Amino acid sequence: MHVLIVEDDRLIAENLYDFLEARGHQCDFASSLAEARRIIGLGNFDVVLLDRGLPDGDGADLVRSLRAVGKMPPVLLLTARDTLEDKLAGFDAGADDYLVKPFALKEVEARLLALQRRRVPRDDGEPLQQGRLSFDPASREVCIDRIALRLPPKAVRLLAEMLRQPNRVFSRRELEIAVWGHEQESSDNLRSVLHTVRKAVSASDAVEIVNMHGLGYKLVCH
């Protein structure tokens, strides 16, 4: 997951950045509305973690203006304002979720992952193809060179998730949520699904799932 953290409190920003990076996510940082606008215009973010109280204005104003032109990814607003009126104002501006300070870092990650899941289409939309690998959402078939692979549903969900963003590093948690809908207590469950996928594609050089040590996994299509 690629996260933009917009927070002017250096300590809070560093804690968020370090925690999310350690959990396998890619992070960028901005400390003002102006800087956030510039970075959003340049980058492709899965979610934005946005403080309301910034030196040059209210984070809700940024959401409102960018929503108007269709440029804003899902937003989790962070704020010390905990009244119902403040929360409603944030949602009215176009925020997707709202978290009051102080917060638990694990809850921040859980909410960001939930926003990302709601953003990515699952079982509908156009067929996906990268190189010789393809996925048809209607038939739930994964093919190499138009030949369907014999895969169980969990393996299909894993490949379909990774095929939407090839060459992107997915953390273990992201893949577990894509496959099961929630994190798994044991990493062996994901390893088992990965083993099934690798065995199914082993006869072809069209695709591989690369283990990025300490970070996660990425799909490479040839």
How many CB atoms within 10 Å of residue 149? Answer: 18
Given this model, what pLDDT does residue 205 score?
A: 86
Q: Write out the residue range of the structural domain in which residue 193 sits.
A: 128-221
Query: Distance (Å, rounded) from C-alpha 37 to C-alpha 151?
Result: 43
Residue appearing with tokens 């920003």:
13
- Is the model's pLDDT at 68 over the cut of 80? no
Residue appearing with tokens 């953003």:
119
Give the chain's end-to-end CA distance (angstroms, integer). Answer: 23
Q: Are residues 51 and 114 in the same domain?
A: yes
Q: Are residues 144 and 82 in the same domain?
A: no
pLDDT band at 121 (very low <50, low <70, confident <90, very high): very low
% pLDDT > 90, the chain? 33
Distances (CA, A) of 45 to 2, 29, 36, 104: 5, 12, 12, 22
Mean of all residue pLDDT scores within the chain: 86
Q: Are residues 115 and 132 in the same domain?
A: no
Note the pLDDT tens digit of each residue in 196-217.
Answer: 999 898 888 888 999 998 889 9
Note the pLDDT tens digit of each residue in 140-186.
Answer: 899 999 999 988 888 998 999 999 888 899 998 889 888 887 777 78
Q: Are residues 157 and 59 in the same domain?
A: no
Who's near 120: CB < 8 A, 6+ residues apart?
Answer: 161, 164
Residue appearing with tokens 């894993």:
158
